[in-house]
């Protein structure tokens, strides 16, 4: 193929087929409750039509390779879910900022900061 | 207050969980905040979130194992499974949702293995959540180029008489491998057969348990 | 039926893996119509596009050094990524 690869071709970081050579790390981990909640927020948001799994993936991809290396799977997911919900107009950045500040004031640990909502 | 005992009650009156004991991270904060905002705006509810988590917890490879064992023992079911795996799964009571499931039959000549090189697509509604390695670079990158080398790392070595078919879940399909029924299991009940079907054999990186 | 995948490299959310672009495969089955993920990803109105499963020989994708000549990769490819001669 006569082609200037740098000029015409840029393979995105998430497009991984054929690139890597490291051996498999056969570790697994039990999902933490907060991770399951993130997963649930994705299922609910998409079922309710706020955005699709395609939007989730698009934001994950646009977060770039550094995010993939430095953040865990569900950390990236909540970041993407939030971005998609903002873009869908479910809430705005001010509301999010104020809520996050309120949550942080409740205590030190996840357990202390998560209050059960009485319905 | 003492930590680490799962039977102890936290200040909210709920059983203490080890994973809730660590300092709050920015992303955990975001999860709580997003969830509470959505509930406050009545976009969802606490019980809906609970239900969604329960539904996911109830999905595990045991579901896929039921589908496989049924296909092993019922030739007509197997035909339906290979023709329309979503419908065949629903027959056994598994709600695949909007997924389009394709069952890939292993034979004496063909071994199937599934990947999503672009992200982590997985038949979650049948098998539950995917293992960490399935989402990592090493698997996603190499299984489409060096399947035999990768399968060897999982302890599976296939002769060159067997062709490997790698399936990259790039779009709307999801895949489940229908492994070969282990030999000498003619007298096994369906329940006994289910116990032989591993998650890894339904992804294609392993075989069912030998008897 | 033999098909060649377009050798394009746009940025953004596309679902045709780069390792298959420019490669020749065989249509394994017709999957029907699905909404274009390249539009769904940006919350745009999404056209229904035909989707195929396409089978590629390992040697076609990676060239000379392959583990086994009869190994293949199947992937789902949207019609607009298939080159019309």
Q: Does C64 lie at the interface with A, CB-CB under 8 angstroms?
A: no
pLDDT for residue B3: 35
Section B161-187 average pLDDT: 97
pLDDT tens per residue across span A73-111? 999 999 999 999 999 999 999 999 999 999 999 999 999
3-state secondary structure B137-197: HHHHHHCCCCHHHHHHHCCCCCCCCCEEEEEECCCCEEEEEECCCCCCCCCCCHHHHHCCC
Q: Check pLDDT > 50 for residue B7.
A: no
More confident position, A5 or B145 = B145
Assess contact for B34 and A78: CB atoms under 8 A.
yes
Q: Are strands C48-57 and C72-78 parallel, antiparallel or unpaired?
A: antiparallel
pLDDT tens per residue across span B61-111? 999 999 999 999 999 999 999 999 999 999 999 988 777 999 999 999 999
Radius of gyration of chain A (CA): 18
**Hey, where are the domains in chain A?**
35-119
Look at residues C18, C20, C80 and name the one whose alpha carbon lies nearest to residue C46: C80
> Which residue of B168, B169, B177, B204 to mutate against C (max C Cβ within 10 Å)?
B168
Chain A hits for B29, CB-CB cut-off 8 Å, are 100, 103-104, 113
**Hey, where are the domains in chain C?**
2-81
Looking at chain A, the whole-number percentage of residues with pLDDT higher than 90 is 77
- Chain centre to alpha carbon of residue A50: 15
Residue of A nearest to C16 (CA): A15
Give the phi and the psi of residue B175 in degrees, each rounded to 5: -125, 145
pLDDT for residue B6: 38
Asked if A36 and B21 come within 8 Å (Cβ–Cβ), the reply is no
CB atoms within 10 A of CB A73: 19
Classify B59 in phi/psi space as left (phi over 0), alpha (psi -120 to 50) or beta. beta
Q: DSSP strand E in chain C: where?
A: 2-4, 24-35, 48-57, 72-78
- In CATH, which of 2.40.50.140, 2.30.30.50, 3.10.129.10, 3.55.10.10 is domain C2-81? 2.30.30.50
Q: Looking at the annotation, which residues of B are catalytic?
A: 116, 119-121
| A13-27, A46-60, B135-149, C63-77, range with the lowest pLDDT | A13-27
**Numbered residues of chain B with Cβ closer than 8 Å to any chain C Cβ:** 100, 117-118, 144-149, 160, 163-173
Joined tokens for residue C67: 């583990």
Beta bridge partners of B174: B101
- Domains in chain B (CATH in brackets) are 1-58 (no CATH), 61-203 (3.90.330.10)
Give the phi and the psi of residue A64 in degrees, each rounded to 5: 90, 170
pLDDT for residue A5: 56
Q: Check pLDDT > 70 for residue B5.
A: no
pTM: 0.92
**For A35-119, which CATH class?**
mainly alpha
| Exposure string over C60-82, b if 16+ CB within 10 A, otherwise e | bbbeeebbbebbbbbbbbbeebb
Average pLDDT, chain B: 91
Asked if A18 and C43 come within 8 Å (Cβ–Cβ), the reply is no
pLDDT tens per residue across span C23-70? 999 999 999 999 999 999 999 999 999 999 999 999 999 998 899 999
Distance CA B121, CA B151 (A): 19
3-state secondary structure chain A: CCCCHHHHCCCCCCCCCCCCCCCCCCCCCCCCHHHHHHHHHHHHHHHCCCCCHHHHHHHHHHCHHHHHHHCCHHHHHHHHHHHHHHHHCCCCHHHHHHHHHHHHHCCCEHHHHCCCCCC
Q: Check pLDDT > 70 for residue A4.
A: no
pLDDT for residue B2: 36
Average pLDDT, chain A: 91
Distance CA A117, CA A103 (A): 13
Q: Check pLDDT > 70 for residue A1.
A: no
């Amino acid at each position: 193929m006569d082609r200037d690869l740098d000029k015409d071709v840029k393979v995105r970081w998430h497009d991984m087929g054929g690139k890597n050579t490291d051996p498999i790390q056969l570790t697994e981990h039990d999902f933490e409750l907060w991770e399951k909640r993130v997963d649930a927020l994705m299922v609910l948001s998409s079922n309710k039509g706020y955005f699709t799994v395609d939007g989730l993936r698009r934001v994950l991809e646009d977060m770039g390779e550094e995010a993939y290396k430095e953040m865990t799977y569900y950390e990236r997911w909540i970041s993407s879910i939030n971005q998609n919900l903002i873009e869908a107009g479910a809430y705005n950045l001010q509301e999010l900022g104020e809520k996050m500040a309120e949550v942080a004031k409740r205590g030190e640990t996840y357990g202390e900061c998560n209050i059960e909502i009485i319905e | 207050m003492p930590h680490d005992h799962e039977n102890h009650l936290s200040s909210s009156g709920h059983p203490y969980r080890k994973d809730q004991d660590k300092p709050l991270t920015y992303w955990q904060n975001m999860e709580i905040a997003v969830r509470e905002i959505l509930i406050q705006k009545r976009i969802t509810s606490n019980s809906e979130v609970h239900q969604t988590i329960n539904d996911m917890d109830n999905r595990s490879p045991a579901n896929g194992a039921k589908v496989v064992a049924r296909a092993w023992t019922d030739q007509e079911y197997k035909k339906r499974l290979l023709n329309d795996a979503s419908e065949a799964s629903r027959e056994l009571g598994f709600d695949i949702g909007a997924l389009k499931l394709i069952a890939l039959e292993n034979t004496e000549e063909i071994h199937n293995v599934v990947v999503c090189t672009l992200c982590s697509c997985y038949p979650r509604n049948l098998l539950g959540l995917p293992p960490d390695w399935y989402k990592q670079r090493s698997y996603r990158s190499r299984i489409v180029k060096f399947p035999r080398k990768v399968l060897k790392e999982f302890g599976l070595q296939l002769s060159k008489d067997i062709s490997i078919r790698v399936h990259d879940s790039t779009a709307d399909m999801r895949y489940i491998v229908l492994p070969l029924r282990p030999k000498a299991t003619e007298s096994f009940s369906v329940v006994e057969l289910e116990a032989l079907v591993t998650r890894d054999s339904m992804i294609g990186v392993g075989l069912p348990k030998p008897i | 039926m033999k098909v060649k995948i377009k050798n394009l490299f746009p940025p953004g959310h596309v679902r045709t893996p780069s390792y298959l672009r420019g490669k020749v495969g065989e249509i394994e089955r017709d999957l029907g119509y699905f909404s274009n993920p390249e539009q769904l990803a940006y919350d745009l109105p999404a056209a229904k596009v035909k989707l195929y499963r396409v089978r590629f020989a390992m040697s076609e994708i990676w060239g000379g050094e392959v583990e086994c000549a009869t190994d293949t990769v199947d992937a789902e490819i949207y019609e607009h990524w298939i080159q019309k001669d």
